[in-house]
Structure 1
Amino acid sequence: MESIVSKVLDDIDTQILDLLQKQAQLSNTELAKRVKLSPPAIHSRIKRLENEGFINAQVAILNQEKLGFDLLCFIFISTNIHQAEKLEVLEKALASMSEVLECHCLTGEYDYLLKVANKDRKELEIFIRKLNKLGITKIQTSLALREIKYSTVLPIWEEKSRS
């Protein structure tokens, strides 16, 4: 069964996306060499992919520890808020907190999962106090001891063997 994405993206689009997600700093000239197109054609395709929402942003991923954010936490939270307007206010508040790297709405025992970066335990304590002011009824915090894998790369392209 052919996916909707494969109807919108051809192999060249997929290659461009794969290369950019692995090395966003590649120039249009280098991308053109790798996918065998002209630099202006690459530029046009990238602009189209951005306009169609396939590329959200091109960013530098910083080294958290070198910048002093030694405490990476995963915080599960529950709330008794059930009104859509109040949930929207809560979600906007969570999204606006600079410590929150990711926020996910969940099914199951907890309502949200936060990925939070803090410099130390004091900052974590201050952050949890901020959460408590938002109508959170249950908080479970887990500290990451070490990172086994971190990736932002989606598995969208597999090299096809050329005979």
Structure 2
Amino acid sequence: MESIVSRVLDHVDIQILDWLQKDGQLSNLEISKRVKLSAPAVHARIKRLESDGYIKNQVAILNHEKLGFDLLCFVFMSTNVHEAEKLSSLEKSLYSMKEVMECHCLTGEYDYLLKVACRDRKGLEEFIRRLNEIGVTKIQTSLALREIKDSTFLPILED
């Protein structure tokens, strides 16, 4: 079994992570000025934070409405599949569905919660049909009327 060594993050690491999540386009030089380290030292820390898994990915977050995805949906779903191999297959199917932005395994009444982006009602109908084909037994879909808060920000710095 692979051993995972968890390094303790110091205050500078936390500051770097905080700045990166506020603005992922900041250069190493800009961050270095803010945390009072050299740009090469900041670069080395960012690479270490990436390799240690603290930074999962750096991406552009797109505006779904401007790109024609008018429906943002939250789909609660249950399945009667409980065998490990079949569950793995179901989860791989969910993972591969391009409409699924997020998928969470839950406790409680439903087994999964999906965050789904569809262009229109027909797209949502087709998506739900595909869910029924992979062994989903119960679906409850809620449409987001508007976003109040949409954030990827973790409050890692104490006030």
Q: CA deviation at 1:157?
A: 1.1
2:87 is paired with a residue whose SS is helix
Separation in structure 2 between the aligned mates of residue 113 and residue 10 of structure 1, nearest angstrom:
35
1:76 is paired with a residue whose SS is strand
Separation in structure 2 between the aligned mates of residue 65 and residue 38 of structure 1, nearest angstrom:
40
2:152 is paired with a residue whose SS is coil
1:108 is paired with a residue whose SS is coil
Once the two structures are superposed, the pairs formed by residues 128-143 of structure 1 within 5 Å of their partners are: 128-143=128-143
Once the two structures are superposed, the pairs formed by residues 1-163 of structure 1 within 5 Å of their partners are: 8-158=8-158
- Gaps in structure 2 of 5+ consecutive residues: 1-5
- Gaps in structure 1 of 5+ consecutive residues: none
2:19 is paired with a residue whose SS is helix
Separation in structure 1 between the aligned mates of residue 137 and residue 46 of structure 2, nearest angstrom:
45
Separation in structure 2 between the aligned mates of residue 114 and residue 132 of structure 1, nearest angstrom:
14
Separation in structure 1 between the aligned mates of residue 158 and residue 28 of structure 2, nearest angstrom:
21
Question: How many residues in Structure 1 have an aligned counterpart in Structure 2?
Answer: 155
Separation in structure 2 between the aligned mates of residue 102 and residue 95 of structure 1, nearest angstrom:
9
Query: Runs (4+) of structure 1 moved beyond 6 Å?
Result: none
* AA in 2 matched with 1:38: S
Separation in structure 2 between the aligned mates of residue 27 and residue 151 of structure 1, nearest angstrom:
22
Separation in structure 2 between the aligned mates of residue 92 and residue 134 of structure 1, nearest angstrom:
10
2:138 is paired with a residue whose SS is strand
* AA in 2 matched with 1:64: H
In the other structure, the counterpart of 2:3 is none
Separation in structure 2 between the aligned mates of residue 56 and residue 92 of structure 1, nearest angstrom:
20
Separation in structure 1 between the aligned mates of residue 58 and residue 147 of structure 2, nearest angstrom:
23
TM-score w.r.t. the length of structure 1 is 0.93
TM-score w.r.t. the length of structure 2 is 0.95
Separation in structure 2 between the aligned mates of residue 150 and residue 88 of structure 1, nearest angstrom:
29
Separation in structure 1 between the aligned mates of residue 158 and residue 128 of structure 2, nearest angstrom:
42
* AA in 1 matched with 2:12: I
CA deviations 1:14-36 (Å, max 9, x no partner) are: 00000001100000000000000
Separation in structure 2 between the aligned mates of residue 11 and residue 82 of structure 1, nearest angstrom:
44
CA deviations 1:112-160 (Å, max 9, x no partner) are: 000000000000000000000001110000000010111000000135x
Q: CA deviation at 1:51?
A: 0.5
